[in-house]
Structure 1
């Protein structure tokens, strides 16, 4: 998690590279039914930039595609599940609550599952919702809903994230500010930007990120924008 975020920030100061992703099929076992299905993974990929909302720019699809079981769309998050876990997950998939969520973006659904299996943390909640927003940029209504949930999750995790790692805290605050901006909530974006500005960062790129975000909020511009890369 943290490696991807910091790599995205630090890559902005590097010259662009052109390493392609290396797709290959893998067999995944669904813990719900026991059936196997094929998922396209990658043996390698590179990142060489980032959008203002935190989404990496690189040689693969971001966020990384999640294997999902046929039918239930259950997000398979690890290779092996215990018998007890499988029993619990099968019960979860049969609930009306799961049925209502199963057609959400894969990272949103993964966050839903993690919350109900005791695997969710304040940071993972923010991280999963952020990645879910990248998946639904084209759907205005869903994007706005995810943006609101992300902002609430960020508020709940704020103090812990700030004490754990200030650079990651800036990543989350500025990414969330831009998700709100892109959803059309310019006042919410401006308030969150002010919070980020009030905390000094050791990364020069953070100041550029703040400046670009401020300018786009002032212009009432809700389009995704890529951070400039430095040769």
Structure 2
């Protein structure tokens, strides 16, 4: 389950939009699941998201609808440790135990959303740049009540996404186009409208076969109007009787 929040799923983000009218009505549901904290052995039960329905996504890929986005992260009650892997290797547990005893770890738990802590732990364990970038993006969603903090996380995420594209380009052309569009959107969210406009035009031919027209139109409009707030394309109206 927790593996769903790791890695890049952006290649599916736009494809799923074409299936909106085929999705039946549903609700956000949770179930109680038993866990064991990997670094303390603490046993506990926590509500865990079992299902949700997305009616589309914002320009930054955050899902909208009766769904929690990002996926809710289960944490150990005693120390806030996030269960971001299904299982941890012995050497990973030792590394994480040592870090969890530091003032830095305690400050991260106290002062940042859980996905920011996940990003720090992923760095510690040598996760891919893309995994870390997405965790920072998710942290920005969690922090949106504090715009300054949210933008700070985007400041950290953007160069990592750019590094993925420049130094470790994915093979899948849909994934490349989706990530390129995301970098345009993050420039816009950060108020870097000239850079966003330049990137959108530079890669327009690459983006248009993958990115839905309503995303392209809204992105272009918001850049021209110099609007930096999160935005969601309007859902197409259901034409069925």
TM-score (norm 1): 0.85
SS in 1 for 2:61: coil
Partner of 2:3 in structure 1?
none
Q: Do the aligned partners of residues 172 and 200 (structure 1) sit closer, same or farther apart at CA in structure 2, a change above 3 Å counting?
A: closer
SS in 1 for 2:76: coil
2:205 matches 1:164: no
| Structure 1 portions without partners, runs of 5+ | none
2:27 matches 1:20: yes
2:209 matches 1:225: no
2:109 matches 1:104: no
Q: Aligned residues, how many?
A: 229
Give the distance between the partners of 1:163 and 1:23, measured in 2 at CA: 34
8 A Cα contact 1:130 1:176, kept in partner: no
Give the distance between the partners of 1:190 and 1:213, measured in 2 at CA: 9
Q: Which has the higher contact order (CA 8 A, sep 6+)?
A: 1
Partner of 1:213 in structure 2?
219
TM-score (norm 2): 0.82
- CA deviations on 1:156-193 (whole Å, 9 max, x unpaired) are 11135644222222222323332332333333433443
8 A Cα contact 1:17 1:48, kept in partner: no
- Please list every run of at least 4 consecutive aligned residues from structure 1 whose deviation after the TM superposition is greater than 6 angstroms: none
Give the distance between the partners of 2:100 and 2:165, measured in 1 at CA: 31
2:18 matches 1:10: no
Q: Do the aligned partners of residues 75 and 204 (structure 1) sit closer, same or farther apart at CA in structure 2, a change above 3 Å counting?
A: closer
8 A Cα contact 1:25 1:39, kept in partner: yes
Partner of 1:124 in structure 2?
131
Give the distance between the partners of 1:50 and 1:197, measured in 2 at CA: 20
Deviation at 1:93, TM superposition (A): 1.0
| Structure 2 portions without partners, runs of 5+ | 1-5
